[in-house]
Structure 1
């Protein structure tokens, strides 16, 4: 959102709207002149942080068919999950007032808190300087899609993507197009693959030797010579986790970032698997000492809850218009 939307008498909500503009891109929601802030919900109603009661005619974009936070359904869900019950409830208690579970095209205080805390955590190390805004998603492959949309929107004449062979980024759409190798069927012609240092990963004796990236640099140079400024995005994983666990030398990823900086190519790091401690640091880009333009998080981000995040440069996310990265569960 370019400018925050303010409403009189909604001081707390207006503060949240100000934060929303700064840390989440407009594409996460379709345009609305109201921009409701929902503190809690029950049944067919929402309440703002100021206590104003709103009637929900959308049922959370056609999701809350039973109403928001239904007691009977939630108690049954808790029982199936082996969690504690909600506590004593009268038979007539149809709903309970709690955090809004589906806030499509609106925002909640807890969402803004999550965005701010995530950005603060990702900026702890100096290499996180490009982590400026958050695009939420429901799965890792969906996050990859959104990251690629943002990168490709920067310059529509530079729609070719470089990906590393044997990576795994998803099973559908663009996330599938950059998965595997060029030998796979129905390969998107915009995607070009480069080698991943499998030999260096497999042969432990090579770990003590200086990494020779000449071959890998030549591959990049050859692609640039052939396609030039049609190449706009490069995506890789910190380590390959599909079919094994292959951790490349730091110099390999640093070489990729250096190439991207020289050619003004957007560098996307797929940390869906590697985030939150898998490489020793909270984030793999910290372990490898690189500055990604966009990082995609998932899996460990939710610890079993289906949530993912695309975090990166504000100027890239600004290339997407209202609603271009929104979906039912994006906020």
Structure 2
């Protein structure tokens, strides 16, 4: 197979280059091994979907800081809004001195998030913080203790959120004991459903299991909330049916259980809707937001029904840096970009391009067991055999490493670590995306030919 013509990727050196390698040695000396790094490169500057590392190598970013950069690296209007804010004040602390951007952003999120009811919003720093506070609010409002999450779900790795998260290694191993009153249900995974079962039958089977769950694990009157990702992120971009999500909502409503939608990775246009919940025709009681909300400035939000959000008394929720002015002005510009440049529709086009290429590759490479996606949230699942569907974790790691070495910043995912996922900025050009996908194709060709 001919090598891909590079119009955007320019490599002056092998990755890592000399300067990146030097910084990596310092990293190993001064930073603990716990924080994982996907790319061997150290970044110098970036714009849109392009990154330049400290050795002058030009890379295409298909990771987007794990879904944080839907509007791309350094969007000019966001950068300018942050600069203007720096000239006024940096952080008076909303708990002490209030500022208008906090209120404006809360109002905007109340307006654009799913739900035809009065809503309220408050802000924090990270996705995990948003989830923890959503749980606190749900327990306060309902007076109940139990929280139910779903297998393969990822909600963070802080003390409470790692109990909600499924994957043991690397997120929970050795960090116990975990928070109590956390329970898990099964989530549909159609690619790995039992042989002979249809997608619809799997949905119905999992819904029927809920009755046994209420009998054998925890009664519904003790459950404060169900929390789920409308599309599972770290779990492997697993997409449920609208029927399944709607039935979960019906069961929650029947028993007075709140439904928390974790849209930290799926929000802000990623799936071809502003929020993935809109694909499923469900209005969550609470929604958690972060990642692409601030274009890389740390900020997260909890938005929900006004009566639910008002359950905690003054001082019972909040934090020193929650809703920083820099995060608020950045987020307002992010939302403006998504709406005015119509990046939500762009996500749908990007998704079609990615899935078309992945399905074409699937015909050539039997190791690609499944191709799936919603909007620009797309993935391929690698297997050792298309019949047995045994996960191919080893090849996945090799593909990701080699793509990064060749100038395409790429991530893996999945409960079995055998999924390659695409979270490119939505501002990526067609040319950049085609080149990056061609590099992935080239890597598959080279690695599968070599065994």
Taking structure 1 as the reference length, what is the TM-score of the superposition?
A: 0.64
Helix, strand or coil for the counterpart of 2:227? strand
Shift of 1:209: 5.7
Q: How many angstroms apart in 2 are the aligned matches of 1:281 and 1:211?
A: 27
Q: Does residue 118 of structure 1 match 2:109?
A: yes
Shift of 1:296: 0.3
Q: Does residue 144 of structure 1 match 2:131?
A: yes
Residues 107-128 of structure 1 deviation map (CA, whole Å, 9 limit, x = unaligned): 1011111111222222xxxx52
Shift of 1:253: 1.0
C-alpha contact (below 8 Å) 1:237/1:271 kept by paired residues? yes
Find runs of 4+ consecutive structure 1 residues off by over 6 angstroms. Answer: 181-184, 205-208
Counterpart for residue 129 of structure 1? 116
RMSD: 2.9
Q: How many angstroms apart in 2 are the aligned matches of 1:209 and 1:223?
A: 21
**Which range moves more in the overlay, 273-282 or 242-251?**
242-251
Counterpart for residue 352 of structure 2? none
Within-5 A mapping of 1:36-185:
97-105=87-95, 106-122=97-113, 127-130=114-117, 132-156=119-143, 158-180=144-166
Match for 1:307 among 287, 299, 302? 299
Shift of 1:138: 0.5
C-alpha contact (below 8 Å) 1:102/1:329 kept by paired residues? no
Counterpart for residue 9 of structure 1? none
Q: Does residue 186 of structure 1 match 2:172?
A: no
Change (3 A) 1:297 1:180: same
Shift of 1:207: 12
Q: How many angstroms apart in 2 are the aligned matches of 1:305 and 1:118?
A: 17
Match for 2:210 among 213, 220, 240? 220
How many residue pairs end up in the alignment?
Answer: 234
Shift of 1:274: 0.3
Counterpart for residue 247 of structure 1? 239
C-alpha contact (below 8 Å) 1:131/1:311 kept by paired residues? no
Q: How many angstroms apart in 2 are the aligned matches of 1:221 and 1:242?
A: 28
C-alpha contact (below 8 Å) 1:130/1:291 kept by paired residues? no
Q: How many angstroms apart in 1 are the aligned matches of 2:285 and 2:243?
A: 18
Within-5 A mapping of 1:4-15:
none
Match for 2:230 among 224, 233, 238? 238
Change (3 A) 1:263 1:136: same
Structure 2, unmatched stretches of 5+, are: 1-73, 324-451
Q: How many angstroms apart in 2 are the aligned matches of 1:314 and 1:207?
A: 42
Counterpart for residue 315 of structure 2? 323
Change (3 A) 1:302 1:247: same
Q: How many angstroms apart in 2 are the aligned matches of 1:129 and 1:160?
A: 27
Q: Does residue 197 of structure 1 match 2:184?
A: no
Q: How many angstroms apart in 1 are the aligned matches of 2:202 and 2:121?
A: 36
Structure with the higher helix share, 1 or 2:
2
Counterpart for residue 286 of structure 2? 294
Counterpart for residue 66 of structure 2? none
C-alpha contact (below 8 Å) 1:281/1:287 kept by paired residues? yes
Q: How many angstroms apart in 2 are the aligned matches of 1:269 and 1:168?
A: 12
Residues 174-216 of structure 1 deviation map (CA, whole Å, 9 limit, x = unaligned): 2121111699753433111100111x1457x999964542221
Taking structure 2 as the reference length, what is the TM-score of the superposition?
A: 0.48
C-alpha contact (below 8 Å) 2:159/2:178 kept by paired residues? no
Q: How many angstroms apart in 2 are the aligned matches of 1:104 and 1:144?
A: 20
C-alpha contact (below 8 Å) 1:150/1:317 kept by paired residues? yes
Helix, strand or coil for the counterpart of 1:312? strand
**Which range moves more in the overlay, 174-183 or 272-281?**
174-183
Change (3 A) 1:187 1:97: closer
Shift of 1:246: 0.9
